[in-house]
A and B are shown apart, each in its own frame.
Chain A
């Protein structure tokens, strides 16, 4: 699989990081409906070794699943059911609006998102899960989740070719993805979420309605939070909007107040939608962020969900 990757276009994949993260599985927090067996729980009963429940026999059931010992004790027919293991569909939703291009060349927010998404895609593919790619920008990319090394190659190549330009279409793209991803999937969003939280909430709820497991990597730069400028400047909108002349000494306080308010609304949104939210600052090491993400998803001992 690795031999198929063109080295030059996949610089966002770091073999060292990949090898380190391979030890950690990518788990879904909800039951998945996969097409093949895998390591994730399925909502249907299967033939794994893990006991699920007893239920009464109804005509038509496979008699091979009758629990004869229970029949012997109670003279009643019970079917013994076991958990089914299946694979998951991992949908990587990358925001490719102009604002993702923020940051120094080679270390932009988009580069950071691509590293996160590429690594996660690779980890998922390695454990036999299907991987798909959706870009949330003017130029849509929709690669449905599929298994296989060649499909992963396609996803990574497509990821490498994405460019962050234009206005944000995050909300439209989320609604669109909620409609188009038919089966349950782990949907991971990589974005700066520079949209009104109230509108974002309805898009996330749309995805939740489709029973998707949603994780969000909210990518922010420390400078965007602090607004730590000393001189007046002309602020050029990366998404092509009107430039703003501003004196930081005059508006910094209000800016910070606006950020605080926004963060407060995002926290509310996370509480109400139950999404797996990760606020990431661009100076953090992405492998640490991913390790934290994967570790948080490990099933806790004794937890039965």
Chain B
């Protein structure tokens, strides 16, 4: 509880006034000469406990009344469940999750969770700390601390506007931690405004224990979590997995793989009008949705044969969560799926090259180049989707190492294969160990089949990964994400934890017959290589699908990008879904699909994440219009009235007994 006029709290000792007056009266009472003391003492003995209690209650009521009056004039403020605890901190850091899921709306008022939370937080901060504390905003898109001059700025700033990005809450907290430790913020309140989406909070992340221990070492730090975990009832979301322009002799069409998901588990058939807009021409198709998902494979939209390039979107009818009702896409003549194999060992490289050149998609062109490590500099960096690096790992400060890292940052992929000569060099936190040759072929005991290179096919069929035989394997050392393990929990395939869109994998064996059955059986290797190639090819070409994020449009001049539709601030361009053009590049920005996942963290999970930290959760709802902090003088007026009433009842003289008539 805080007070708008805290100076008046110094008058609080006045609450003892009734006690003082009582004591004065006690010693200034009129005196009565009395003979029948026998009865008086007897009455007092009979009445002792009750009389004392009554007197204490009366005095308590009077003290409460005066205290309530004093509290009323100090204008007390309280938050939800009296959440705003006393004292004005030196610094208030606001961690704002303005991810796509925060745009879930109250359909009656069209107020989003983000807008409602910001409005309440702004009002609460204005009423409680005003400009007495330093206000710092860190939002999820850029993670840059921004100083605010007053709490009201929260509502107006573009930095608090809607985005179609994903949030990384541990990164937000890390940003707060960095700010606190760098600026020595003194007593600090950290407000986290979020919808507690599991995908944003990443509660399984290894960053949490480190954050917890770092925050626990700081003094005077309090966390206030303003949460909007309320799910959107019956929400539908749409996403496009694949967009291909198909041209035959007599017609051209766009083939779309798209998925509509509904959040409720209802199986009632739902007639769904899907609106497709391609180059500003819209068509509406009614679909029937029977399950929780509607998957359309190769849905054809006829286009003009001369239209080689363009953009469009798929739209769902409006619902509580508007950000997932639209999915933008662009199309162009597909880029060549080019891969480069860096290897000295042709016997190992040839099967790989053959697999990479085999057309998995007959509408596209596939090329693969084999280069020895000495000619690695000749890699066509701009056009290569996948690099297979079967050579010693480059030194960290080598030019080639930096080029490989840039290749990954641009969203491309690398598959590292082990070489015979061991070296201590690492890439992305992983490096090769020693070779082991087993007496009999080893098989895989576990692999990740929901995502990644070894995932099941689209129709759910598993790849024959279990049939793989590995006779020689090389240890993969360092910290990474395992995707497949051999018997004995030995990692066979690992993904390096590298920031950015690109992926680097380490495969602990070779495809040749001397090491494994990868080349011989072919299926797993083919799927694995083409998935890696497709992953890397996403960022190839002039028309690209990207996830909205601060780096979605690269690091160049953002003003060069023109948005189709209403213009917005250039700094917000990469954060909002839509179609953007820059010269000959065409980019469709969409929300990251993990934002569609409705799972949220429960109170127990939050308590676990903030274990040992001074934290306070305010669970709010977007429909709730009561302010976060409000003046609670009414409560004290009520207390005062109640105290007066009780006091009056206690002071009420007892009913007169019938007069004694003892005359005889």
Contacts and interface: CB of A to CB of B under 8 A. Distances in A.
B657 A279 contact: no
A245 B663 contact: no
B424 interface: no
Q: At the interface, is chain A mostly helix, strand, loop or mixed?
A: mixed
A229 B54 CA distance: 19
Contact of B36 (A194, A249, A251, A281): A194
Which of B37, B42, B43 has its CB near the most chain A CB atoms (within 10 A)? B43
Contacts of B29: 231-234, 245
Contacts of B10: none
A194 B39 CA distance: 9
Contacts of B44: 244, 246, 251, 254
A175 interface: no
Given A234-B30, A278-B664, A253 B35 contact: no
A102 B32 CA distance: 10
Contact of B37 (A234, A237, A259, A263): A237
A237 B39 contact: no
A157 interface: no
Contacts of A252: 43, 653-654
Contacts of B30: 231, 233-234
A194 B38 CA distance: 7
B21 interface: no
Contacts of A253: 654, 657
A262 B39 CA distance: 9
B660 A256 contact: yes
Contacts, number: 126
Nearest to A108: B35
Interface in A192-249: 192, 194-195, 220-221, 224-227, 229, 231-239, 241, 243-247, 249
Given A226-B660, A253-B654, A235 B37 contact: yes
Contacts of B37: 99, 194, 235, 237-239, 241, 244
B32 A256 contact: no
Contact of A251 (B25, B47, B651): B47
B51 interface: yes
B375 interface: no
Contacts of A255: 39-40, 42-43
B54 A237 contact: no
Interface in B9-40: 25-26, 29-40
B556 interface: no
Contacts of B654: 249, 252-253
A99 B39 CA distance: 13
B52 to A, nearest CB: 10
B223 to A, nearest CB: 52
B588 to A, nearest CB: 84
Interface residues of B, number: 32
A254 B25 contact: no
Nearest to A280: B663
A250 interface: yes
Given A226-B659, A250-B47, A259-B660, A235 B38 contact: no
Q: What band does the interface of chain A fall in when counting residues whose beta carbon is under 8 Å from B?
A: 35 or more
A246 B26 contact: no
B35 A225 contact: no
Interface string B53-91: 011000000000000000000000000000000000000
Given A225-B660, A252-B654, A244 B35 contact: no
B46 A250 contact: no
Contact of A224 (B35, B41, B657): B35
Contacts of A241: 37
Contacts of A100: 35
B272 to A, nearest CB: 77
Contact of A192 (B33, B35, B651): B35
A112 to B, nearest CB: 13
Contact of B40 (A102, A239, A246): A246
Contacts of B42: 254-255, 258
A260 interface: yes
Contacts of B657: 253, 256
A168 to B, nearest CB: 10
A268 interface: no
Contact of A249 (B35, B653, B659): B653
B34 A236 contact: yes
A146 interface: no
A277 interface: yes
Contacts of A220: 662
Contact of B664 (A102, A229, A238, A277): A277
A128 B645 CA distance: 71
Which of A195, A220, A277, A284 has its CB near the most chain B CB atoms (within 10 A)? A220
B46 A254 contact: yes
Interface in B608-664: 651, 653-654, 657, 659-660, 662-664
Interface string A92-130: 000000111110000001000000000000000000000
A257 interface: yes
A241 B37 CA distance: 9
B614 to A, nearest CB: 48
Contacts of B31: 233-236, 243
A233 B31 CA distance: 6
B662 A225 contact: yes
Nearest to B663: A279
B662 A279 contact: yes
Interface in B224-261: none
A35 B30 CA distance: 56
Given A236-B32, A279-B662, A244 B41 contact: yes
A123 to B, nearest CB: 22
Nearest to A267: B664
Interface in B333-390: none
B60 to A, nearest CB: 16
Interface string B122-155: 0000000000000000000000000000000000
Contacts of A233: 29-32
Contacts of A249: 651, 653-654
Contacts of B40: 235, 244, 246, 251, 255
Which of A220, A229, A259 has its CB near the most chain B CB atoms (within 10 A)? A259
A99 to B, nearest CB: 4
Given A246-B40, A255-B43, A235 B34 contact: yes
Nearest to B46: A254
Contacts of B662: 220, 225, 263, 279
Contacts of B34: 102, 235-238, 244
Contact of A232 (B25, B38, B43, B659): B25
Nearest to A243: B31
A195 B39 CA distance: 10
B556 to A, nearest CB: 87
B35 A109 contact: yes
Nearest to A109: B35
Contacts of A281: 663
Nearest to A97: B35
Interface string A259-296: 11011000000000000011111001000000000000
A233 B25 CA distance: 9
A101 B42 CA distance: 21
A277 B664 CA distance: 8
Interface string B418-437: 00000000000000000000
A118 B561 CA distance: 126
A263 B663 CA distance: 10
Contacts of A258: 38-39, 42-43, 46
A10 to B, nearest CB: 25
Contact of B35 (A102, A245, A284): A102
7 contacts: A99-B35, A109-B35, A239-B35, A239-B37, A246-B44, A255-B43, A260-B660
Given A229-B32, A232-B25, A238-B34, 10 more contacts: A102-B36, A231-B29, A234-B30, A234-B31, A235-B40, A236-B34, A245-B29, A250-B55, A258-B46, A279-B663
Minimum-distance CB pairs A-B, first 5: A99-B35, A102-B35, A254-B43, A255-B43, A258-B42
